[in-house]
Structure formats: structure tokens, C-alpha cells
Amino acid sequence: MKSRGKFIVIEGIDGSGKGTQTELLVERLKKEGIDLVTDDYPHYETSFWGRLVGRLLTGEFGELFTISPYLAALPYMLDEADGSRKIIGPALEVGKIVVSNRYFTSNVHQIAKKSESEREEYANWLWEAGYNQMGIIKPDLVLVMAVEPEICRENILKKAKRNYIGQEVMDQAEANFNHQMETDKEYKKMAEKEPDRWVIIDCCREGKLLPVEEINQIIWLELKRRNIIS
């Protein structure tokens, strides 16, 4: 009987290169002959709840930052719980590695909406609601792409227009630069709280973004160090 697989999530603020690094990691794992499954959240185009997230981000239900994070997080969590049940769980059961671009861990963005004094209480509710009440599968490793927020903003402006936000360049979360900066802080806090599960991948040197291949090598060595790959 195969042992349980491993679940890896690539995280970071908007524009930090999550998608690029996910693609590079998946390509490298495949070249090594590793059996894997890929995922990408939210499922804007392919799931009932993911489509609701897209509608939320366009502002259909109100200005994003006026909606309580207790409510705003729910469409994301429902999409992630659905993916846990249909995609991630079955793959892990047969020993596959799962690599996901974003996941329930992205709800750190919701924590960053709260005032400093309210964040710990909200975070405790969020993780309890997702992992314990909704049965969302906890990742084995969360790799956070740490990129200077100013660089991320430049990257966002270069993105192609996307269908889920009505062909706009930035959704409401991306457009709020202060929110991105606060989210960056919260990702780093998670890495301090759970160093066995969350790890910061420093993607910059002297204020400049490292080449994507160099970042990919840092990720690869981290997976080896944690015995996720041999």
C-alpha cells in the first residue's frame, strides 16, 4: 500500500510570481518522474463556488473591503473544501504529490483586513472553521514567495486582463496597495508561528527580483531539505 502523498502550496501576495513558480516546480517534478496532481485556487471558471468568488471580487456584492471577512472568506472556503474532497484528498490517498497555486492558506488576505487588535481572534476562527469544521485538508508545506510589495504592484500591472473580473487589470484586492503590504506582514507572521509548515522563500536581493530559475532552485532545495523529494 502506498504511503500518503504530500501537499505543497505556493503562496504570496498578488504579483509575487506564484503562478510562474508553480509552473516551474511542476515541470521539474514531472521531469523527475514524480507522480503529481496540480490545482489552482480559486476555481473561477470550473466550480460553483469558485465562480461566486469571481463575482465577489468584481464588487457585485458590494465594495470588497466593507464586507466582513467572516462573510467574505466563506465563498473561498467552500471552493477549497470542494477541491479538498474532489481533487486533493483522492490524490493524496494514492500517494501522489499535490502542488497548488494558492489555497485556503491565501485567506491570510482576510486576516490582513482586520485591525491589528482583531487579527489573532479572526485568525483563530478562520483556521478552526476551515480545517476542523469544514474539513479542508491542511497542506504539508506552504511556500510563501516573499517579494517587495512595490515590485508585486509592477507585476500586477503587466498581467493580461482576466475574464473573472470583467476584463479589468486588477481586482479589488490587488488594487488596494496598503492591503497587499499588510498581507505580506501576515504571511511572515504565519512563517514565524508555524515554521515546520510555512516557509518564506526570499525572491529578492538588494531590492531586485531574482531570476525565476534561481527562485525555482531555492524552492527545489527546500523540498529536498524537508524530505518531500529525494
Residue 58: Cβ within 10 Å count: 14
Question: Does residue 51 belong to any structural domain of this protein?
Answer: yes
The reply to whether 230 falls in a domain is no
Query: Do 136 and 86 contact (CB within 8 A), yes or no?
Result: no
Is residue 145 within 8 Å of 215, Cβ to Cβ?
yes
The CA angle 169-174-180, to the nearest 5 degrees, is: 155
Is the confidence at residue 3, as pLDDT, over 70?
Answer: yes
- The CATH number for 15's domain is 3.40.50.300
Beta-carbon neighbour count of residue 87 at 10 Å?
18
Please check the confidence at residue 201 and state whether its pLDDT lies above 90: yes
In a domain, 1, yes or no: no
The verdict on residue 131 lying in a domain is yes
Q: What is the percent of the chain with per-residue pLDDT over 70, rounded to a whole number?
A: 89
Angle at 16 between CA 198 and CA 140, to 5 degrees: 20
Asked if residue 177 belongs to a domain, the reply is yes
**Residue 172, in any domain of the structure:** yes
Question: What is the C-alpha separation between 42 and 48, in angstroms, rounded?
Answer: 11
Q: How far is CA 100 from the centre of its chain?
A: 8
Structurally, the chain folds into a number of domains equal to 1
Please tell me the predicted confidence (pLDDT) of residue 187.
Answer: 96
Residue 129: give the domain boundaries.
7-225
| pLDDT tens readout for residues 43-69 | 999 999 999 999 999 899 998 889 999
CA distance linking residue 163 with residue 166, whole number of Å: 5
Q: Does the residue 41 lie in any domain?
A: yes
